[in-house]
Structure 1
Amino acid sequence: MSPLRPTGLWRRAAVLAFAVLLAAGVTAPDAFAASPHRAAGTRLGDVRVLARFDRAAGQVAESVALEPGGGVIIGMIPARQVVRVAPDGTVRVLATMPLPPGGGGTTPVIGTPVVTGVARSDRGAVYFLYSSGRGGLTGIWQLRRAGAPRRVVPLPAGTMPNALVIDRERDRFLVTDSAGGRIWQAPLSGGAASVWSADPALSPDGFFGANGLKVHDGAVWASNSDRGTVVRIPVTAGGGPGRAQVRATGLAGIDDFDFTGRGTEILAAINQTSKLVRVGSDGSQEVLLDADDGMQGTTAVAVRGNRVYVTNGANLAGNNPDLLLARLRR
């Protein structure tokens, strides 16, 4: 989820932004038609808008889960929605979560209930995170072919679940808790969650700590928005966490990230400055897309083969939440 930290009043501004998104009458202009980025050393081309979202309805694109055939599942804040984007850009709402008792004002950090991370299992089951404070709705939810979504893993009301991944090797969910600076685990079959890691490298520094999350090459990787870092935590033989290692710094406002397929090279969505940054295995950094390419509050990135999907939340920057599709040039 995208915290943004543009000024010393960043926390107040972030909360205010979510309130503004909920207000009626917000009108979004036409989405920016991004053109291929031509900066020297670029690794992306053929950048285009695949889908545009309704900011007035709170459709702030937050997270991405890829489906076979080019479809995409996206979590929307604060519309409390899960949507599917077809390969042709058609958008369909799959679920809208109810408000908790009292309206969700007890939701940690931001004070309004939100749908955040999404994930898809190998069997096609779609899961998502709902953070709603007190009221018994916070946790991991599963879409069903018929009927309302069902909660499969409850999480404490004081957590801010943000990114959701499926650790296929160990049949478990992993979830970042941005408020608590932790990573939770729970059985893929559902049930009780437990803290997998509360390493200090995951902790917030005033607002959002652990945010994006991936499992890669025998380790769990997480971004820390406040600290501008990417952290690698080795997975032990028993499935527990090893000692955390900071693998990248200088990425203030980082949200989600994904691996390109070249070792530990990643593409990082930098929400604060509306950029997509390539971070090499050696820690070197290169801006691939920025505001001139239509980046507005960049929230998530997902790579499949030579396709790169990027969501723009436009929460504290711009008015055009959308989904971009680009081609990765290797």
Structure 2
Amino acid sequence: MHVRNTVTAFAVAAALLTSAATATAATDPLSRPHVVTHFSLASSQQPENITVDRTGSAYLTFSFARQIVRLSPGGHLHALATLPAPTKASTPNLGKAFVGGIARADDGTLYVTYATGTADLTGVWAVRPGGRPHRIAALPADGLPNGLALDARRHRLYVTDSVRGVIYSLPADGGTATVWARGRALEPSTFAGVNGLKLHDGAVWATNLDEGTILRIPVTPRGTADRIEVRATGMPSIDDFAFTGHGDTLLAARDDNEVDLVRPDGTHTAVLTAADGLETPTSVAVHGDTVYVPSAAYLTNEDPNLLVAHLAH
């Protein structure tokens, strides 16, 4: 289904990225940021997470609309699936149904996390091309499944639970989810703990929102979790992130309207701010020399959007 809203074509974005830089706060290695898509707050089009395929199409979750959408390079927004609404949502911390992380397999299957506070719906859901969404693994109803990553080689999924403070693992084909990692570094202190999630260079990387930390957990040859390493600190309200392709350097979205460049030694610098159009950024994707940053406007309550910037290599 084609969703009508104020989508600006990616073709226009490409032209903007090659034009003269505007007066923004963007800092090296990012340049020429521009909001290419404005979503509808009235329709709960608040993008929580993103993944990008080889063609440059972006797949996003609209958290409170319970939707999975695709934004083509030509600027067309298509709703791929809407997850079923609970009879009465009682999602921890949120109170309403929440679609969180997203991952995409090479065959086009999309995986998302879904939290409703009900045992019949909370868990990991999958949507195959042309198919209907279906739950492939149940997760505890008193938790908040959030970040999601796919290990294509091991054919496994990893999921963060921001309320229970653990990371689950499960077969990508579906089945029983088990706690893969637990520990104080993953737990919440006030609101939400382990949040964003990525697989990188033989390890599971995650953030802790309350603690403002980036964590690395090596995967042992047996597939189990090794000791949790704290790789960076001092980033309050950190959400999800993406690696730039330069070793362990990454870009992290923060709910306080920042995207930080985090270097392998743990030092970090703001490279995007509200001056660039951020409205509670939630996640980051890197595709070639293009960086995508969705903003859900959770805290600003205005202009949920998708920002694109150029990444210098």
TM-score between both structures, scaled by the size of structure 1: 0.86
1:158 counterpart residue number: 142
Q: How far apart are the structure 1 equivalents of 2:233 and 2:52?
A: 27
Structure 1 pair 224/40, CA: closer, same or farther in 2 (3 Å)? closer
Structure 1 pair 142/39, CA: closer, same or farther in 2 (3 Å)? closer
Give the partner amino acid of 2:35. Answer: V
Deviation at 1:129, TM superposition (A): 1.3
**Contact in 1 for aligned 2:25/2:275 (Cα 8 Å):** no
SS of 1:201 mapped into structure 2: helix
Deviation at 1:169, TM superposition (A): 2.4
1:249 counterpart residue number: 233
User: Structure 1 unaligned runs (5+)?
Assistant: 1-27
Deviation at 1:98, TM superposition (A): 2.0
SS of 2:275 mapped into structure 1: helix
Deviation at 1:46, TM superposition (A): 2.5
Matched, 1:209 2:193: yes
**Contact in 2 for aligned 1:312/1:322 (Cα 8 Å):** yes
Matched, 1:84 2:67: no
Give the partner amino acid of 1:76. Answer: F
SS of 1:300 mapped into structure 2: coil
Deviation at 1:88, TM superposition (A): 2.2
**Contact in 1 for aligned 2:278/2:307 (Cα 8 Å):** no
Q: How far apart are the structure 1 equivalents of 2:215 and 2:130?
A: 39
1:47-62 aligned at under 5 Å gives the runs 47-62=33-48
> What percentage of aligned pairs have identical amino acids?
43
1:249-328 aligned at under 5 Å gives the runs 249-271=233-255, 273-328=256-311
Q: State the Cα deviation string for residues 65-94 of structure 1 (Å, max 9, x = none).
A: 111211011011211111111112221111
Moved over 6 A (4+): none
- The CA RMSD measured in Å over matched residues stands at 1.9
1:7 counterpart residue number: none
Q: How far apart are the structure 1 equivalents of 2:120 and 2:184?
A: 28
Deviation at 1:133, TM superposition (A): 0.9
Give the partner amino acid of 2:114. Answer: Y
Q: How far apart are the structure 2 equivalents of 1:296 and 1:41?
A: 18
**Contact in 2 for aligned 1:74/1:118 (Cα 8 Å):** yes
Matched, 1:141 2:125: yes
**Contact in 1 for aligned 2:34/2:276 (Cα 8 Å):** no
Higher helix proportion (structure 1 or 2): 1
Structure 1 pair 218/167, CA: closer, same or farther in 2 (3 Å)? same
SS of 1:68 mapped into structure 2: coil
Deviation at 1:47, TM superposition (A): 1.5
User: Structure 2 unaligned runs (5+)?
Assistant: 1-5, 9-15
Give the partner amino acid of 1:122. Answer: D
Q: Give the number of aligned pairs.
A: 297
